[in-house]
Amino acid sequence: MNHFELVADIGATNARFALLADGQMELMHLHVLPAADYDSLTHALKAYLVKVGKPSLKAASIAIAGPVHKPVFTLANNHWQVHKAEVEQQLACQTLWLNDFAAQAWGVTALDVDQQVIVKPGKAKLEGNRLVIGPGSGLGVAGLVFRNNAWVPVIGEGGHVSFAPGNAREIAVLGHLLADYEHVSIERVACGSGIPLLYGALAHLDGEPVRYTDAAAISGASANDPLARETMDLFFAILGQAVASAALQMGAIGGVYLVGGILPKLLSGMEQSEFVSRFCRRGRFRSYMEEMPIILSTDKDLGLKGAALALVHH
């Protein structure tokens, strides 16, 4: 009987599952299940295992957007509550739990050259610290440090640091948002749901009607609608500044890696925006920032590949 390893990349919107043949790294039987269609991870996992014929599993690696150190936890941006013991009983094999951005970080260590877009060239230090960051349903942040001839992910909750405005317009946006939120984190504005939030704030400040309520519509309208265009410009400027702050905290002289599903779809807008100039705008530290390369991953399976690599290194 063949024994497989299961890998999973669980986000707020989708649960991605795949199998690995014994000792292999090629993803097999990859399925993407919308989280909204299932009551919990256990239900989604059961549906996947039925789809692929209930394989015999020898190990599993589950990357998930939640506090995986707890036995029971909820996901930050969807309705699932995860009971780790229930999932492990269901899998009946050795199970590794890791933060979803730990998996993204692992994935970056083996990112194919043809799945990299150079957003900003630079001079990376070969074994220097790296930053892995990307907007999705939230803003994920992780680091990579090289120790004992191996990369080690460093995980935190960098998306929940405070949004720091960089000019008068952004200060006004922050003031508007503080009327509704006790704390305005950077992930509140620099993620998919942050785009309509920024659009609504700008519309309020300018006394304009709100014509669009979702990120895709705002992005699509940005070619012709001045308020939508300002929203996208603001989004990229804020994101550029946030990435710079995280890069400084990480000391990311080994490079900055942008990951996730949103930015590849918005690449042309990002390239025409202030993203890079805001990243470099650090006064006395401008030259330090200018040396850091920024690389965009276009690998949609990066989290699954990272979960597989985590099994190898565990």
d(CA 308, CA 8): 9
What is the model's pLDDT at position 99? 92
What is the model's pLDDT at position 2? 64
CATH of the domain at 45: 3.30.420.40
Identity of residue 256: V
CA 122-123-126 angle, 5° bins = 135
What is the model's pLDDT at position 24? 82
pLDDT tens-digit readout, 252-264? 999 999 999 999 9
pTM, to two decimals: 0.94
Residue percentage of the chain with pLDDT more than 70: 99
The tokens of 176 are what? 């508007």
Let me know if residue 105 belongs to a domain: no
Above 90 in pLDDT, residue 23? no
pLDDT tens-digit readout, 223-272? 999 999 999 999 999 999 999 999 999 999 999 999 999 999 999 999 99
Whether residues 125 and 210 share a domain: the answer is: yes
Let me know if residue 107 belongs to a domain: no
DSSP code of residue 80: -
Whether residues 134 and 76 share a domain: the answer is: no
Let me know if residue 267 belongs to a domain: yes
Whether residues 15 and 84 share a domain: the answer is: yes
Per-residue confidence at 22, pLDDT binned at 50, 70, 90?
confident
d(CA 78, CA 123): 39
What is the model's pLDDT at position 67? 87
Whether residues 7 and 142 share a domain: the answer is: no
pLDDT tens-digit readout, 165-197? 999 999 999 999 999 999 999 999 999 999 999
Please provide the distance, in angstroms rounded to a whole number, between the alpha carbons at the two ends of the chain. 25
Q: Count how many domains the chain has.
A: 2
CA distances from 210 to 27, 196, 197, 198, 214 (A): 43, 9, 11, 11, 11
Whether residues 220 and 123 share a domain: the answer is: yes
**Which strands make up the sheet holding 56-64, listed edge to edge?**
28-34, 14-21, 3-10, 56-64, 94-99
d(CA 254, CA 266): 25
The tokens of 131 are what? 């930053």
The tokens of 221 are what? 């309208």
Domain ranges, residue 9: 3-100+301-313
Above 80 in pLDDT, residue 76? no
